[in-house]
A and B are shown apart, each in its own frame.
Chain A
């Protein structure tokens, strides 16, 4: 084992960057680093920023980080962009909107490719968040890919989820009706310098009025991320939400739910891997052919495969 963990614990940012790569690439050392560092995590406020492509997530993330710096908080940022399903390549361009923080030693920005994961994040996002958390940032912000309405995964990983909307896009309200609004702890109307911001705020208010009585109504805030307007208010709302999570006991509930989700999904992966290893390709092919010929149903076949490793 090299000295990366030692350096990491002394807040060496290059060690942090290197460890993230190993964890992201799921190398054996990555697994070992994670095991050693995980006990140091669990102190950071994890914030998710989601919303459509071009809604201003990156700009807002950068502006929020700047506002946190004014309050002397350190910030880690993970910005996810999509991978090409064909070449697995990606262009990660979110840093372009975070230039003001480029040389701030209290900010660390890491771009991640989606690598085919569904739900707007990356396959190893939880592990990378744990590493950033262990490094000791006061807050970690995660910017999702921003592809659309099914990006609900973020609510599992982040404690506070911010949904970014824009005025005058029309299709917004449709998208919100489709369900993503349910994961939002805070609603932001960004690009408030564009016409229609107040109309969108009242539309959102009307939509929220339909939510079940007694449930927490997410606040709605207007921001102009490019000018830094509304950022202090947004920061206050985020802090308020965090205090609410703590005082209501929801924070520990969230931690447990996330832990349950993680352990089960990792276990599922391990089992699948075992099944693959225990099943010779010819045996799999034989089953596949029988299913395709309708001699066997896929459930019975899967039971058989799983039985081979679980017996």
Chain B
């Protein structure tokens, strides 16, 4: 096979729960696309099972969750659970949206490597992915 092939980083950007704020997720998806990633965007209203199943089927390197509804501490542990159930244990996990500072520690212990909040420069998000992806 060709020796010149390069692998693009595959990223799943997902919105768990009933939160309909999708601008941030789309902005992030587009920034990562412009940064050279292949981004799977699954739209709003995803259950934790759907997100984990998409991560498995698409064999992504990175899973990014976007949430502005305030339900992150309820939904994110379930997403992590569903990923584990399926053996998807080696992806880079991160998230963004309306997430209070005081919740960062809880998310870190769940395995989220970073939390990005409103006003984040998308270049920083792209940089974070390239520096932390396990490839």
Contact = CB atoms under 8 A, between A and B. Distances in A.
Asked if A and B bind, the verdict is yes
A87 B59 CA distance: 21
Interface stretch (B28-36, B67-75, B95-103, B105-113): B28-36
Ordered nearest first, which 6 A-B pairs have the shortest CB separation?
A26-B5, A89-B33, A17-B59, A96-B43, A25-B7, A31-B1
A92 B59 contact: no
Contacts of A14: 56, 59, 86-88
Given A92-B41, A103-B53, A27 B5 contact: yes
Contact of A96 (B7, B32, B42, B53): B42
Given A25-B6, A89-B39, A113-B38, 14 more contacts: A14-B56, A14-B87, A17-B56, A21-B7, A25-B5, A27-B5, A28-B1, A83-B38, A91-B29, A103-B49, A108-B57, A110-B57, A111-B58, A113-B8
25 contacts: A14-B59, A17-B56, A17-B58, A21-B10, A26-B1, A27-B1, A30-B1, A89-B34, A90-B8, A90-B33, A90-B38, A91-B41, A92-B41, A93-B40, A93-B43, A95-B41, A95-B42, A95-B54, A96-B41, A99-B43, A102-B53, A103-B50, A110-B57, A110-B58, A269-B2
B86 A84 contact: no
Interface of A: 13-14, 17-18, 20-21, 25-28, 30-31, 83-84, 87-93, 95-96, 99, 102-103, 108-111, 113, 115, 269, 273
Contact of B36 (A17, A88, A93): A88
A20 B59 contact: yes
Nearest to B32: A89
Given A14-B87, A25-B7, A99-B50, A111 B32 contact: no
B9 to A, nearest CB: 9
A68 B50 CA distance: 21
B38 A89 contact: yes
